[in-house]
Structure 1
């Protein structure tokens, strides 16, 4: 069952969409602000049976609240208590690396699995933390990606890796190669999580 709820964080109104399913969780904290991340998370969750939580801003100017300040509202608390490993999707706009996917987060083995699954895409996944810009590493303990039992992976995607359109549209359409790569990685992680049960 999918549940939607409005929440307010730091004076910003969000619409959250939560669907509880498997032990892997797909999280998009900045849907709409980082175009395509919510749609990408939803498609991957649908195809893999993963749990899903997205935050969008249906009204007002887009506001980016850093992940470490996304306070534990009810949907986020429910998501974190239900899942064992989180994959958090974000967008970066670094002009010097328009085809680089930075693969951060505290669960480094899971990060390498996802990076391997993305190697056939037109984008280059980077897992070496020293090669990932500090703000994109996703290692802070207050970042929700690291608050599930087995930590998580933060994927920082360039614009063209999260939407097939250079100008914003609603809904965004993530590129097939990226969707397929993340789906393959999540399925591998699902098998590993099930083996621990």
Structure 2
């Protein structure tokens, strides 16, 4: 569907929000975002096995989690894979090659965000790029959390401004970006902030 061109790789190396190693601090900040937007049900979306594991260990099952069994392209430690496997939330399996966002992943993400119960999307391939459509699709007050190699967890507070920034990046991906927006339900009047496409 869409892929990350080499020319854009550096744009994804900079954290899109504050970085922390403390899941309790992150969860407190996520709660503040929900309160600020009067959005008590705004989801927490976790992209990555280690991030998902740390949130679960801190007592918060992410509303949507995307995992691929790897961290920095190496298999995750057994305690992490076992901890993630122990959850009883709904699981969806998709294939998604590295530096790519497939139709299956985008559809699974859109469906998971609409599901009132927690969903874990198990990715055969790589889920690294999924933070971008998650930022585009999640409602104001939500938090998208992903790992920053060697640093910790990045929490992106979903605001109209953050969504605009993510949209600008997304539009620079190679492939059928308009069709990707359609799958995410972000075309026409449903686009962030009502921006018509």
**TM-score above 0.5, yes or no:** no
What is the TM-score of this pair, normalised by structure 1?
0.28
Larger helix proportion of the pair: 2
Larger RCO (CA under 8 A, 6+ residues apart):
2
TM-score (norm 2): 0.28
